[in-house]
Amino acid sequence: MLHSASHNVRDTASKIEGYTAKLSAELHDMRETAYFPTARKTFARTFSTTDLARLLKVPESTLRQLTIEGKGPQPERAENNRRTYTVEQVKELRTFLAALRPDEAEELLPQRRNGEKLQVIATANFKGGSSKTTTSIHLAHFLGLQGYRVLCIDLDPQASMTALFGIQPEFDLGENETAYAAIRYDNERRSLADVIRPTYFPGVDLVPGNLELMDFEFDTPSYLTSRNRDDLGLFFERMSNALSHVENRYDIVILDTPPSLGYSTLAALYAATSLIITVHPAMLDVASCNQFLIMISDLSEVLGQFGARFEHDFFRFLLTRVNPNDGPQKYMSGVMRRLFGDDVLVAEALESTAIAGAAVAKKTLYELEAGEVGREALKRAIESADRVNFEILGLVQKVWGRSA
Ligand SMILES: Nc1ncnc2c1ncn2[C@@H]1O[C@H](COP(=O)(O)OP(=O)(O)OP(=O)(O)O)[C@@H](O)[C@H]1O
Ligand SMILES: [Mg+2]
């Protein structure tokens, strides 16, 4: 509550300052401990012959034969005498095998080809904690490992996705280094290319987010009433136009949106060629999702008055944090599927202690080493994430006109 007596207001403000100072320091220490000695996140995981066979869809025997003949990138022997490949070698193997097996070259090197348009996938829902960020980053890492060129854009001032990439917004980002820089209205604006940074994850680049993104919400109303116009256009066109300058560098862009329907979320929904609405199958979440859909539909009418249309190649609901043994959840999943039919992805993102455990280490399932969480839990969680991500990739490939 805001009291009129100013000492009370100051008390709260100074208390909060005290909290953030302590919490910032603690977060900083946690990171130093986690990524010692460089405090930079790296891709530590290696790949076994079995992992590679699955990823590249080649028989293990082929990979073993290459090792015996000393052809292509050579794996190291781990302590347990198992062969392990680094993530760079996975990439080299794609090129090596593609030359060896021209029939499979398209699958081994799956990047976008002529006539296939850039895919921009936004995860959205204004319900907090519906798994938007978890879904986005798992999809991004999955696509990176599959050999695609991926750009992640964090449009959430909370910057959870940025943090999962090992960038602590309070320490690692200077002024004007986020997505806000690329869509702002004043002459401090930078091109999107200037705020893209490579990440430790192969094939995946990032435009980070931080609290600056809030300014877009404050600036937009006054820009709309002023007569100033620049080449990026109105609020909803700005992300889309900014992206057009880096289009050729990527196959798939992933937009992580905040749990609100502000101007930046609208810009993301408009820039997106496809939408994934993440919904936890529980009564309040589904009810809130309905409110979200009503708001989108109202807003698309408003956009219509500007001559803009919401058009998407695909629009799917994804059921998240699903516990298959939970009766009420099963009921709500049933309701979603009955009402929305094929617009609900067949695959569901299962609730998993492996995801929760990975998040603590700021990792996705795709970068965990065996042993970091329970083996069975990890296996089941990866199977679930793979099913979701392969289904989304299938939709992308369909848009590109590739056969399944
Ligand atoms: N399948 C899952 N199993 C277990 N935990 C999960 C799963 N998906 C997400 N979580 C956890 O739930 C929390 C919320 O997830 P996440 O941050 O992805 O949601 P969000 O929709 O992006 O939230 P916000 O609205 O705040 O942006 C996180 O702590 C995350 O680790
Ligand atoms: Mg989020």
Measured from the Cα of 126, ligand 1's closest atom is: 25
CA 126 – ligand 2 centroid, Å: 10
Backbone φ, ψ for residue 120 (5° rounding): -120, 110
CA 18 – ligand 2 centroid, Å: 26
Which of 123, 125, 133, 264 most suits a substitution to test ligand 1, by most atoms within 8 Å of the C-beta?
Answer: 133
The pLDDT tens digits for 93-138 are 999 999 998 998 988 999 999 999 999 999 999 899 999 999 999 9
Buried b (16+ CB within 10 A) or exposed e, 81-109: eebbbbbebbbebbebbbebeeeeeebbe
C-alpha to C-alpha distance for 33 and 295, rounded to whole angstroms = 44
Q: 7 or 206: which carries more pLDDT confidence?
A: 206
Tell the residue nearest (CA) to atom 15 of ligand 1.
Answer: 131
Which of 126, 132, 134 most suits a substitution to test ligand 1, by most atoms within 8 Å of the C-beta?
Answer: 134
Tell the residue nearest (CA) to atom 25 of ligand 1.
Answer: 128
Instruction: Kindly identify the ligand whose nearest atom is closest to the C-alpha of 323.
Output: 1
Q: What is the mean pLDDT of residues 40-64?
A: 88
Length of the chain: 404
CA 385 – ligand 1 centroid, Å: 13
Check pLDDT > 80 for residue 46.
yes
Q: What is the mean pLDDT of residues 253-259?
A: 97
Instruction: Kindly identify the ligand whose nearest atom is closest to the C-alpha of 125.
Output: 1
CA 186 – ligand 2 centroid, Å: 27
Check pLDDT > 70 for residue 37.
no
- pTM summary value: 0.92
Check pLDDT > 90 for residue 23.
no
Q: Where are the domains of the chain?
A: 47-108, 119-399
Please indicate whether the domains covering 47-108 and 119-399 agree at the CATH topology level: no
C-alpha to C-alpha distance for 370 and 176, rounded to whole angstroms = 39
pLDDT exceeding 70 applies to what percent of the chain?
96
Check pLDDT > 90 for residue 341.
yes
Q: Are 318 and 278 in contact (CB under 8 A)?
A: yes
Check pLDDT > 90 for residue 1.
no
Measured from the Cα of 127, ligand 1's closest atom is: 25
The pLDDT of residue 309 is 83
Give the model's confidence band at 25: pLDDT under 50 very low, under 70 low, under 90 confident, else very high. Answer: confident
C-alpha to C-alpha distance for 355 and 183, rounded to whole angstroms = 32
State in Å, rounded, how far the first CA of the chain is from the last one: 57
Fold of 119-399: Rossmann fold (3.40.50)
CA 84 – ligand 2 centroid, Å: 34
CA 160 – ligand 2 centroid, Å: 6
| Closest-CA residue to 175 (of 188, 157, 165, 162) | 188
CA 322 – ligand 1 centroid, Å: 12
Q: Are 201 and 141 in contact (CB under 8 A)?
A: yes
Q: What is the mean pLDDT of the chain?
A: 91
CA 256 – ligand 2 centroid, Å: 7
The pLDDT of residue 20 is 84
Check pLDDT > 70 for residue 4.
no
Which residues lie with the beta carbon below 6 Å from any ligand 1 atom? 128-134, 156, 158, 160, 259, 320-321, 349-352, 355-356, 359
Fold of 47-108: Multidrug-efflux Transporter Regulator; Chain: A; Domain 2 (1.10.1660)
Which of 131, 260, 265, 317 most suits a substitution to test ligand 1, by most atoms within 8 Å of the C-beta?
Answer: 131
C-alpha dihedral, 161 to 167 to 171 to 175, nearest 10°: -70
Residues lining ion ligand 2 (Cβ < 5 A) are: 132-133, 160
The pLDDT of residue 26 is 84
CA 27 – ligand 2 centroid, Å: 18
Measured from the Cα of 259, ligand 1's closest atom is: 25
Measured from the Cα of 358, ligand 1's closest atom is: 31
Q: How many CB atoms lie within 10 A of CB 291?
A: 12
C-alpha to C-alpha distance for 179 and 255, rounded to whole angstroms = 11
